[in-house]
Amino acid sequence: MSSIPEFGELLADAERSAVHLEMRDSYYSNPRFEEWQQGHRTDWDDRASWWRPFHQQIADAVARGVSVRRARVVSEPVTEYIRWEHYVTHSNVTAGERVKWLPRREATELLLPGNDFWIFDDRLIRVHHFSGDGDWADKELRDDPGVVDMYSAAFEKIWERAIPHDQYEIK
């Protein structure tokens, strides 16, 4: 059993900010992605059909005054998985996240961390590890101030260049 707190606990403890960086072009599959591939589309007016505990955790944090931001670095043309993520990002935005997209070609001058992560209150990093095919592998928690500063600086550089979700057009 992992001694690393679950995401919901870390977010519940956040007081000011939670930022998330995603850099893969595909992740492990899931039933919602597979349904989307088969033509199913979400009825955004039927919130009960798509609202998940994760969305409530984000909404609760935002209601407490926590700024929640997500940046995605993506290759273009995008993969089918990223096309689906762009579609379902409506739920993230509805929950209160601010989401931006950065085409990978626009990140050439940036030094990017090797893994996806969440940073909570500029003090704690939850690093996500995936296998080469996108399956979840592991997570780790880091609180070294030097590492936190590097990851935070990388996220802010990406955020400055990235395109807000409502303006990013899938290519």
Under 8 Å between Cβ of 102 and 71: yes
Q: Which amino acid is at 48?
A: A
Chain segment 3-56, per-residue pLDDT in tens? 899 999 999 999 999 999 999 999 987 899 999 999 999 999 999 999 999 999
Question: How many other CB atoms are there within 10 angstroms of residue 108's CB atom?
Answer: 6
Is pTM beyond 0.85? Reply is yes
Write out the residue range of the structural domain in which residue 130 sits.
Answer: 7-167
What is the band of 2 on the pLDDT scale with cuts at 50, 70, 90? Answer: low
- Given a cut of 70, whether residue 1 has pLDDT beyond it is no
1 falls within a domain: no
152 falls within a domain: yes
CATH code of the domain in which 128 resides: 3.30.870.10
Query: How many domains does the chain contain in total?
Result: 1
